[in-house]
Structure 1
Amino acid sequence: MEQLTDLKAILHSKRANIYYLEKCRVMQKDGRVLYLTEEKNQNLFWNIPIANTTCLLLGTGTSITQAAMRMLAQAGVLVGFCGGGGTPLLMASEIEWLTPQSEYRPTEYMQGWMGFWFDDAKRLIAAKHIQQSRIAFLKRVWSKDRDLINEGFHFEDELIQTAFSAMSNRVEQAANVGKLLQLEAEFTKRLYKLAATNTKLPDFVRSRESTDLANDFLNHGNYLAYGLAATTLWVLGIPHGFAVMHGKTRRGALVFDIADLIKDSVVLPWAFICAKENATEQEFRQQCLQAFTDHKVLDFMFDVVKQIALKTDWDDANQGVAQP
């Protein structure tokens, strides 16, 4: 049995697991957190290694006991209720994250974030920092991931080079967050076009309500990224409502900002590749999680958020952009 004092021994940025569960009951048994599945002739118990888990997504047909929730809190695991397949029941609705009520998280990052957040100009600099870090990460991943390169997702591709150069230059010239959001949408649209061409899905149209595999996988993968972003912000003690780009009236909007760091570089290409191969939802999820581990995306998220929170020279928008 794991000792309670050891449950937080593995740093969140180094943890390996995200779990999505459906049609089961999560409970505590003999000092472990298990989930119970009901079969025709027997019930089966499966262990959840909570000390090595960042977040737990509970989908349709799930329940959880108070004792299990207590142990998950002790291990610092975020728990979220979501719709089927890891996506919410309502379009664009955020997952309701249940976070352990620990008062021993760091305060320096929250204080640093608050130090600039109320200044519009500084908030714009932070938004630009996120976008430039996002582009730098895509360059790294698409330059070295052999599997993606073999599927046509290569940073040396002419379309990528054109989109990359245009995005990078125009981000620094953006006069407001609205312009940044426009640039972000245009950049992602170009990536969709490239991905659809590479995977021979010419009729693809992005729709969060669509039932085709590519859109389903994009929705699913994006919510895995939201789980990582929520974990990063919770561990650093930064409230999710202090967004720098997405709707500042949405309580969880900062989760969307941070998730954007890795969605285009990891989730997007694998959603299209898995759709081309007619993969199952579980196969896609496993591929995404493996890519998150291979490219150390959680470490990258932590680095970017820390850099912004502890930034001291706010006169130079280019200073300290994360180099993955």
Structure 2
Amino acid sequence: MEQLTDLKAILHSKRANIYYLEKCRVMQKDGRVLYLTEANSQRSAENQYWNIPIANTTCLLLGTGTSITQAAMRMLASAGVLVGFSGGGGTPLLMATEIEWLVPQSEYRPTEYLQGWMQFWFDDDKRLQAAKQFQYQRIEFLKRIWGKDRDLKGEGFDCESSAIQSALQNCSNKIHAADRVVRLLQAEAELTKRLYRFAANTTGYGDFTREREAVDSANGFLNHGNYLAYGLAATTLWVLGIPHGFAVMHGKTRRGALVFDIADLIKDAIVLPWAFICAKEKATEQEFRQQCLQAFTDHKALDFMFNQVKQVALKMDWDEQNSTGFISDKSAPPESPKGHQA
């Protein structure tokens, strides 16, 4: 039987899997984590077991009708997999009203990132610079993804579009001029609204209003995709040892606010366009989820999140940023001690 110590260490930034499960039981069997689906009399008289490759998994969402055993949680924790309980379709996350996860307990996570974060976090001006850095990189990531993804280009999502170039340039100018976080939030909201309008027009979706409680397919896919991004962001922060409450933009009074800051790095570039494309194609939630997860992997979204958080924590030159406001992209140390299954 495979022992817990036999798990091969895979850095979280290189992991490929996010799972959403419903109407099943998650358990440990023969040294593996499995989920059990009830027998369907029309298909099979036997229950079905399916393996979860925990060493290559970042987070696990348990939806309606699920249960999990203590032994399975112990193995998931040993592999550093975050677990969250959610409603149907992956939203909303039910652990709390904020974005919080059941996180593994480990005393071996690095401390230098939290120490670096604390060196600037209590200074309002430096925290504003960090928030600007994330917003600049959010724009750059969108430009890069929409500039090279052939599938997105084929659907009309091209960063060379005059409407997109205008929106991004206008947002970049407002980021540069912002003297308070509230100005950054206004610039972010304006850009997102313009991207929603562009996506709706490009896909022929029609009138669109972003409402998290709405039942139309685009809003539903946006909710679902955003929670997947929150899972990646929560994983990034847990591995680097930075508590979710030390936000730079979304408010210091919400315990999970930093998760929102980090998830925003990739949401507009990946989740937003695919939500509208899949809505146009009348895709199922599972098809949309698989498309999002594949895009996260293809574009190394988790790698990007790790690099940005590391750079802000350790590499930020508060006195000598270059003219664009970007941090120079230097190599960062690994996110976990060598040889340890973080």
CA distance in 2 between counterparts of 1:263 and 1:143 reads 16
Alignment match, 2:182: 178
CA distance in 2 between counterparts of 1:5 and 1:48 reads 17
The one-letter code sitting in structure 2 at the alignment partner of 1:320 is I
Offset of 1:96 from its aligned partner?
3.6
SS in 2 for 1:310: helix
Alignment match, 1:148: 152
SS in 2 for 1:63: strand
SS in 2 for 1:97: coil
Alignment match, 2:125: 121
Structure 1 residues 134 and 194, CA, compared in 2 at 3 Å: closer, same or farther? Answer: same
Alignment match, 2:338: none
Per-residue CA distance 1:265-300 (angstroms, 9 max, x = gap): 000000000000000000000000000000000000
The one-letter code sitting in structure 1 at the alignment partner of 2:32 is R
Per-residue CA distance 1:104-160 (angstroms, 9 max, x = gap): 000000100011100000000000000000000000000000000010000000100
Contact kept, 8 Å, 2:85 with 2:93, in 1: the verdict is no
Contact kept, 8 Å, 1:195 with 1:272, in 2: the verdict is yes
Offset of 1:201 from its aligned partner?
1.0
CA distance in 2 between counterparts of 1:30 and 1:89 reads 30
Offset of 1:312 from its aligned partner?
4.5
Structure 1 residues 103 and 45, CA, compared in 2 at 3 Å: closer, same or farther? Answer: same
Alignment match, 1:320: 327
Alignment match, 1:280: 284
Contact kept, 8 Å, 1:132 with 1:321, in 2: the verdict is no
TM-score, normalization: structure 2?
A: 0.91
Q: Does 1:94 align with 2:98?
A: yes
Per-residue CA distance 1:32-89 (angstroms, 9 max, x = gap): 0001111234321111000110000011111110000000000010111111111116
The one-letter code sitting in structure 2 at the alignment partner of 1:261 is L
After superposing on structure 2, the runs of 4+ consecutive aligned residues of structure 1 that deviate more than 4 Å are none
Contact kept, 8 Å, 1:138 with 1:265, in 2: the verdict is yes
Alignment match, 2:26: 26
Structure 1 residues 6 and 94, CA, compared in 2 at 3 Å: closer, same or farther? Answer: farther
Q: Does 1:264 align with 2:271?
A: no
Q: Percent identity over the alignment?
A: 78
Alignment match, 2:210: 206
TM-score, normalization: structure 1?
A: 0.96
Which 5+ residue runs of structure 1 have no aligned equivalent? none
The one-letter code sitting in structure 1 at the alignment partner of 2:227 is Y
Contact kept, 8 Å, 2:4 with 2:31, in 1: the verdict is no
Offset of 1:93 from its aligned partner?
3.0
The one-letter code sitting in structure 1 at the alignment partner of 2:52 is I
Offset of 1:168 from its aligned partner?
1.0
Aligned pairs (5 A) from 1:236-255 = 236-255=240-259
CA distance in 2 between counterparts of 1:78 and 1:122 reads 30
RMSD of Structure 2 on Structure 1 (CA):
1.5
Per-residue CA distance 1:153-188 (angstroms, 9 max, x = gap): 000001000001111121011010001000000000
